[in-house]
Amino acid sequence: FSHPNIKFLKLVKIRVSVIGLSAEVRVCTVLARETGGTYHVILDESHYKELLMHHVSPPPASSSSESSLIRMGFPQHTIAVMADQDAKPSFSMAHLENSNDPGLTLGGYFCPQCRAKYCELPVECKVCGLTLVSAPHLARSYHHLFPLDAFEEVPVEQYMGERYCQGCQGEIRDHHVYICKVCHSAFCVECDLFAHDTLHCCPCCIHSHPGPPCM
């Protein structure tokens, strides 16, 4: 089975996934397989919701993905009060287009390139075009592309090292120890879940290498 649209999608590296509501369709099977996506047919409403939520988080980036640089600015939030002698009220660029918003304000985020002011991030600067974000915004996007590998689950009887978690520093009382495959640090199940669901990185790897492997 060959179709020019499928060939084009594969050529431009567009991944296509399909959620089917009825019986399997061959063209959907080929489309998902050739583009590196997935194809599932739902069983019921709960199964449909499960499949749909699976696609909410972006898939990991492939090793063949081309990298491109994007200029970004990381403005600090400036807070000022009227009592400050150097405080000068100014307009936010977003307020200039909306007459319902308040006019002159003191604090805000100032573009590091042109000093235009904004009240919220992320935003594209209307003056110089620089993308303004905060570090947490970037981290939330980054960790989906490069997820933390699962720790190795080892029965506590077979673990020969010290039975203390490198995350919370508490004694490991679980039936299993979770070992980072990079730095070989041991973690309890709570810290394993915290590292994968919240931190999205191994805390011991970050301390060992100044350049963090993940965010």
Residue 61 lies in a domain: no
pLDDT tens-digit profile of 93-137?
776 766 665 567 777 889 999 988 888 888 999 999 999 998 777
Is residue 51 within 8 A of residue 57, CB to CB? The reply is: no
Residue 213 counted as domain residue: no
Residue 32 lies in a domain: yes
How does the average pLDDT of the chain come out, rounded? Answer: 83
Decide if 89 contacts 106 (C-beta within 8 A).
yes
What are the helix and strand counts (H, E) for the chain?
Answer: 6, 11
Q: Are residues 10 and 35 in contact, defined by beta-carbon separation less than 8 angstroms?
A: yes
Same domain assignment for residues 130 and 167: no
115 and 138 together in one domain: yes
Residue 208 vs residue 69, higher pLDDT: 69
192 pLDDT tier (thresholds 50, 70, 90): very high
pLDDT at 135: 74
DSSP assignment letter at 97: G
Same domain? 160 vs 197: yes
Is residue 215 pLDDT above 50, yes or no?
no
pLDDT at position 98:
66
Do 136 and 76 share a structural domain?
yes
> Do 108 and 129 have their domain in common?
yes
Q: Which of 58, 47, 2, 60 is nearest to 21 (CA)?
A: 47
Structurally, the chain folds into a number of domains equal to 3
79 shares its domain with 133: yes
Give the domain range for residue 107: 71-144
The pLDDT tens digits of the residues spanning 11-58 come to 888 899 999 998 889 999 999 999 989 999 999 999 999 999 988 877
Sheet holding 152-155, edge to edge: 152-155, 176-179, 186-187
- Rg of the Cα atoms in the chain: 24
Q: Is the pTM of this model over 0.85?
A: no
pLDDT tens for residues 131-164?
999 877 776 677 777 788 899 999 999 998 888 9
Reply yes or no on whether the pLDDT at 204 is more than 60. yes
Asked if 183 and 205 count as a contact pair (C-beta separation under 8 A), the reply is yes
Q: Are residues 130 and 87 in the same domain?
A: yes
Domain boundary among the residues 120, 144, 168 is at 144
Q: Is 182 a member of any domain?
A: yes
The answer to whether residue 87 sits within a structural domain is: yes
Of 144, 171, 192, which closes a domain?
144
